[in-house]
Amino acid sequence: MSEWVPDRVVSPADAAALIGAQFPDLRGAPVEPLATGWDNTVHVVGGQWVFRFPRRAVAVPGVAREIAVLPRLAGRLPLPVPVPELVGQPTETYPWPFWGARRIPGVELADSRLPDDGRTAAAIGVGRFLRALHDPGLVGLAGDDPVHDPMRRGDPAVRAGKARAVLDSVAARGVGVPDVAALLARAERADPPAGPAVLSHGDLHVRHVLVDGAGQAAGVIDWGDLCLADPAVDLSLAYAAFSGPAREALLAAYGIVPPERELAARVLAVSLCASLADYAADDDRPVLLREALAGLARAAA
C-alpha cells in the first residue's frame, strides 16, 4: 500500500460534528474541504478557521508538536505560520487530537503556476524566513525533548538511496523523469554536513509555502515534521522550487551555504520532489506532478 493511504478520513459532515460538539461558537458554521495530504485532511470552517485532522496514526505526534511549538514560534518569524488556537480532543468516534487556526490567505506555491522567472519575490521572502527560523536562539522552542531529524533528511547518502527507489516507482508509472543520476552518485559518497542543528520545518516543499496574488511569500504551513536538523533540511526548497536569479535572491537573503550543505539540500530536494511526483501521479494531480518534475530538474541543474 502507498504511504499516503489514510487510516481515517474526516468528511465535512464529520468535521462539523466534531467541531460543533467541542467549540459551540462554531456550531452550524459552514465546513468546506480545503486540502488533503499524506497525513492530514484540512477543512475551512466559517470562512475564517482552518482545521487539521490527522489521516494516519503516524501523524499524531506531529500534531502534538504543532500544538506545543507553533504558538511559541508565531511572531518570531517574518511570515505567518498557523497558530493552533482551538485544540480538539479525541472522542469515541475520532481517536486523535485535532486543531483549528486562523486561516492564512494564499495558495500553495505548487498550485500557483508561477513561472521560474516570476518567483524572485517569493524567494526573497523564503530566504528571510529561513534565516530567522534557523537563528540558534530559537532552538529552545523545540521543547525539553526535541526530535532530531528522525528521517535523516540531512544525510545525503540516505536520501539518495531513498530517492532512487521512489524515482523507480515514478518511472514505472510511465512518467518521464529528469536525469538526476550524477547528483545522486555524488550524494551517495558524501557525509552529512557538519554543524549545530537548528529549529527546522522539516518538510519544507512547494505544498507548504503559500504565495499571494502578487507572487509574494504569504505563509508557511504544515509543521508536523518540525524538528532539530541541519539547515540543509529546509534549504532543500531553494533547489526544488527556485532557479536562476530567484534562487540567488533566496540565498542572498539567507546567507552563506557551504558546498557540503548545498549538496545535502539538493539531494533532499530530489528526494522530496520524487515523492511528490509519485503521489501526484497516483492521485491524479497533474499540476503538482508538473511542479514536482520541474523541481527535480531544478535540483540537478
CATH number (domain holding residue 21): 3.30.200.20
DSSP 258: -
Q: Does a structural domain hold residue 122?
A: yes
Residue 175, amino acid? V
C-alpha 267/C-alpha 259 separation (Å) is 12
Residue percentage of the chain with pLDDT more than 90: 93
Digit-coded pLDDT (tens) for 16-50: 999 999 999 999 999 999 998 889 999 999 999 99
Asked whether the beta carbons of 180 and 218 are under 8 A apart, the reply is no
End position of a domain, from candidates 83, 102, 121: 102
In a domain, 70, yes or no: yes
Do both 96 and 150 map to the same domain?
no
The range of the structural domain enclosing residue 61 comes to 12-102
Q: Are 80 and 136 contained in the same domain?
A: no
Please indicate, yes or no, whether residues 154 and 138 belong to a single structural domain of this protein: yes
Helix (H) or strand (E) holding 263: helix 259-283
Residue burial 179-209, b: 16+ Cβ < 10 Å; e: rest: ebeebbeebeebebbeeebbbbbbbbbbbbb
Task: State whether 114 and 263 are in the same domain.
Answer: yes
Given a contact cutoff of 8 angstroms between Cβ atoms, the answer to whether 163 and 295 are in contact is no
CATH label of the domain that carries residue 208: 3.90.1200.10
In the prediction, which pLDDT does 145 show?
79
Q: Establish if 5 belongs to a structural domain.
A: no
Calculate the CA 126 to chain-centre distance: 13
A 10 A CB-CB count for 137 gives 9
Query: What is the pLDDT averaged over residues 63-76?
Result: 94
Do 143 and 240 sit in the same domain of this protein? Answer: yes
Last residue of a domain, one of 58, 78, 102: 102
Q: What is the mean pLDDT of the chain?
A: 95
List % helix, strand, coil for the chain (3-state, nearest 5).
50, 15, 40
Q: Is residue 73 included in any domain, yes or no?
A: yes
- 7 lies in a domain? no
209: confidence class by pLDDT, cuts 50, 70, 90: very high
Q: 127 and 275 share a domain?
A: yes
Residues 42 and 180 in one domain: no
| Backbone dihedral angles phi then psi of residue 220, each to the nearest 5 degrees | -130, 125
> Do 18 and 43 have their domain in common?
yes
pLDDT at 1: 53
Question: Would you say residue 172 lies in a domain?
Answer: yes
Residues 147, 285 within the same domain: yes
pLDDT digits (tens, 9 = 90+) for 269-294: 999 999 999 999 998 999 999 999 99
CB neighbours of residue 298 within 10 Å: 23
- Supply the pLDDT for residue 7: 84
pLDDT above 70 as % of the chain: 99
200 within some domain: yes
Helix (H), strand (E) at residue 241: none
Say yes or no: 161 and 87 in one domain: no
The C-alpha atoms of residue 264 and residue 293 are separated, in whole angstroms, by 19
Q: What is the crossing angle of helices 232-240 and 259-283, to 10°?
A: 60
Domain count, the chain: 2
Tell me: do 85 and 120 sit in the same domain.
no
Whether 55 maps to a domain, the answer reads yes
